Amino acid sequence: MKTLIKPHGTATLQVPLAKTPRESDKVNDLPTLILNDPALSNVVMIGSGYFNPLEGFMSFGEAKSVCQTYRLPDGLFWPVPIINLVQSKPDFESGQKIALLDPTRDNKPCIALMDVSDIETLSDKAIDEMILRIFGTNDSSHPGVKKFRTLGNFLISGKLEIFDLGSFPRDYPDTFRTAQQIREHIVNSGWDKVVAFQTRNPMHRAHEALCKLAVDRIGADGLIIHMLLGKLKDGDIPAGVRDDCIKTMVDCYFNEIPVLVSGYGFDMLYAGPREALLHAIIRQNMGATHLIVGRDHAGVGSFYGAFEAQEIFDELQVSNDLTIKIFNADHTAYSKKLGRVVMLNEVDGHVPNDFVTLSGTNLRALLGKGEMPPKEIVRPEVAEILMNFYQS
């Protein structure tokens, strides 16, 4: 049997997921906290095993250490604080057990129990310092910064016992998988080298070519297209549409490569380099040996340099902390000269007019008018799904 890559920080995957609360925990008698979107997302990620070896929400001291040193106080490498900020001071106290409620479903079911270790009040200055470290900017036009500023100044930390993964298993039964389920798929498939591709978008031909190129050059046994199923910024394409696009592309154009299309329940941070590091931890925990990191990975607008998300892996020398390897990719485009999608840093003798390119804004405009985008940019089967969405 193949030996899988070890998860981050432990020899085996530690998943704090129980089927039901213990009988001794009278959930109805406990104080409750309705989770906001980011906190709910964090609970799902911890319960799914993607944030191994975390057991709950970080304290301010732990979050500050992560922001300043990329490490928890115990030395564990971690790039982004996993915290629970709320707007109002709660009516429970540290040392109590509380029930965490999921506001996205009817009746707000209890998704986890939390042993509250501390309740801390953060100053606006402390919040701003954390934002600047995470996102590299305090500009509220950045969607991650804007969201963070709405969360509140009261930080609640403590260990979790999770027994529900939110609405994702129900809403995406053929796509959502936990880290352990993906590890089992890798073992059952007999894969050794496994490439992961992170996406929050439908897959265009550039993505397709990049995945195939990485699999070929690494000599991988399988590819995991791992899509984010949580919340995105306004204007991004909903998860269900992306799911249809990606599965259609794989069915039509990935016949020669073993592929698993899967998804995970996290909200996009748009934190650029720091989020790329978190993406690597997520993929190592699910058993991938390689992660594709492309141009402006996890970025938004012009807040990050084109290759900052690649450079940070070398700057921090993360090979000392992470086992997963990074496949760096340049910007890709369709070459009319060569008749295929290429990485721009690998072709000579081209001028700008030799490439077929289309901005996301112009692509959306075409789809909204019911016009098919160039076949060199989007596969027609995928374009049809997108066109139906935009016209509706």
Shared-domain flag, residues 134 and 227: no
Three-state secondary structure call for residue 361: helix
Determine the pLDDT at residue 132.
98
Last residue of a domain, one of 134, 166, 198: 166
Three-state secondary structure call for residue 339: coil
> Residue for token digits 């470290």?
133
Shared-domain flag, residues 308 and 196: yes
Residue 102 confidence (pLDDT) above 60? yes
Cα 389 from Cα 382, distance rounded (Å)? 11
Cα 224 from Cα 194, distance rounded (Å)? 7
Last residue of a domain, one of 123, 143, 166: 166
Cα 155 from Cα 176, distance rounded (Å)? 29
Last residue of a domain, one of 142, 166, 190: 166
Shared-domain flag, residues 105 and 225: no
Number of domains in the chain: 2
Shared-domain flag, residues 257 and 307: yes
Residue 24 confidence (pLDDT) above 60? no
Cα 354 from Cα 334, distance rounded (Å)? 8
Indicate the Cα dihedral angle 203, 207, 212, 217, nearest 10°: -150
Q: Which two tokens stand for residue 194?
A: 């496994």
CB 58 within 8 A of CB 66: yes
Q: Which two tokens stand for residue 54?
A: 């975390």
- Assign residue 364 the CATH number of its domain: 3.40.50.620
Shared-domain flag, residues 262 and 341: yes
Q: Which two tokens stand for residue 110?
A: 């209890």
Residue 385 buriedness (CB in 10 A; 0-12 / 13-18 / 19+): buried
Instruction: Give the domain extent around 74.
Output: 27-166
Shared-domain flag, residues 353 and 252: yes
pLDDT in tens, 208-237: 999 999 999 999 999 999 999 999 888 788
Residue that wins the pLDDT comparison between 1 and 260: 260
Of 133, 177, 183, 200, the active-site residue reads 200
CA-wise closest residue to 222 among 261, 260, 251, 263: 260
Shared-domain flag, residues 119 and 238: no
- Residue 200 annotated to the active site: yes
Helix, strand, coil percentages in the chain from 3-state DSSP, rounded to 5: 35, 20, 45
Shared-domain flag, residues 204 and 76: no
- Assign residue 44 the CATH number of its domain: 3.10.400.10
Tally of CB atoms within 10 A around 342: 21
Shared-domain flag, residues 95 and 178: no
Cα 186 from Cα 4, distance rounded (Å)? 8
Shared-domain flag, residues 150 and 182: no
- What band does 367 get if pLDDT is binned at 50, 70 and 90? confident
Q: What is the mean pLDDT of the chain?
A: 94
Of 138, 149, 201, 364, the active-site residue reads 201
Shared-domain flag, residues 248 and 327: yes
Shared-domain flag, residues 81 and 162: yes
In-domain check, residue 226: yes
In-domain check, residue 5: no
CA-wise closest residue to 177 among 188, 168, 164, 167: 168
- Residue 153 annotated to the active site: no
Indicate whether this model's pTM tops 0.85: yes
In-domain check, residue 97: yes
